[in-house]
Amino acid sequence: MKRFIMLAAAVLLLAGCAGHRYRSEFDFANKLAREGLWQEALFRLQKARAAGEDSAALHNNMAVVLEALGRPDEAQKEYELALKLAPANERIRANLDKFKRNEEKDLHEKK
Amino acid sequence: MRRNKLALLLVLSALAAACSESYAPVTIPFRPRNVVDFSAYKDLFFIDFVLDAPEQGFDAGAEVRRVFVEEIPFAAGRPVQRLEPEHWADILATLRRYRLAVDIQYADSLFFQRVFRAHPQGLFFAGRLKLNVKKMGVIREGRDEAGKSKNVYDTVEMWEMEMQVGLIDGDARRLLWQETYAEKGEPVAGATARFTFSSMFAKLAARLTAALQPRKTEQERHILGR
């Protein structure tokens, strides 16, 4: 029983650490994005993803950063994943709409 | 009782804070994609345009050429060389003399396929320029000797210019991009035909330059906090 409690405590502690790491990398990435340090923000978001759970916010922010870095194909995938996870989120939808308008404009100009 | 209410209020506030979405606006740089990746080509060439224009006593083709060889390189980020395919000058002169309205399909033409083969990894600017100078009757308001206003019949020139320009990938023999720009207007009083032509063509060239070199702008997006 004692061993089981110890094991559970260790699992909870590790899970807690992982969650904390995700939040801090994620928050740091947001700070970097607000300052326009896109490459660094992307690196932090990738670390957050590698360390933790999936979330609509993570995909959305990744998409914004990729868009800022001029990687529209990857950005579109991330926006769509974000919207899949949070279909009612107006911010994500607005971001995706603006992104799509740019893409359509590009396509129109190419034509 | 009061403590209970306070606790409830605190719990509700905490729940509201937890449920509210946090987000922040960020400004991202946005540069529309270039119509063509000029760096992917070894050389950029300009082939003299087909001119469908009345004789005005100056070399309109030379002005078009000057813009493409001297100004477009700033938009493309690369030098643009004039290409003079054999017999092309004679063909252009014939087309212009008889003002033949031809629509040359450069990418499919056997003549140009030979030209493209002779310049591997080349990107080619080609197109046509059409100019119509119409004389139009207008009624202007004037004054008679007594100073009374009266309608006076007058004639004015109306210039209509249209440029169709395309970018052709020589190796693929494919038209990558094509656009048509048009301008019209009256010449400035006393201006020479050359001046009117150059200033009108400069407007078309400015629009072409803007299309070839999309301007970087900024756009707003939202990043989410949770």
Which chain A residue shows the shortest CA-CA distance from B208?
A109
pLDDT for residue B205 is more than 90: yes
A67 touches chain B (CB under 8 A): yes
Reported ipTM: the value is 0.77
pLDDT digits (tens, 9 = 90+) for B11-58: 655 555 555 568 999 999 887 777 888 989 999 999 999 988 888 888
Pairing of strands B149-169, B217-224: unpaired
B33/A33 CB distance under 8 A: no
CB B154 within 8 A of CB B138: yes
What span, in angstroms and rounded, lies between the C-alpha atoms of A12 and B126? 69
* Contacts with B220 from chain A: Cβ below 8 Å: 98
Select from A23, A44, A45, A64 the residue whose CB has the most chain B CBs within 10 Å, as the one to mutate to test that interface: A64
Q: Which of the pair, B31 or B69, is modelled with greater confidence?
A: B69
Amino acid at B131: L
- Amino acid, single-letter form, for residue B177: W
A95: closest CA among B28, B32, B214?
B28
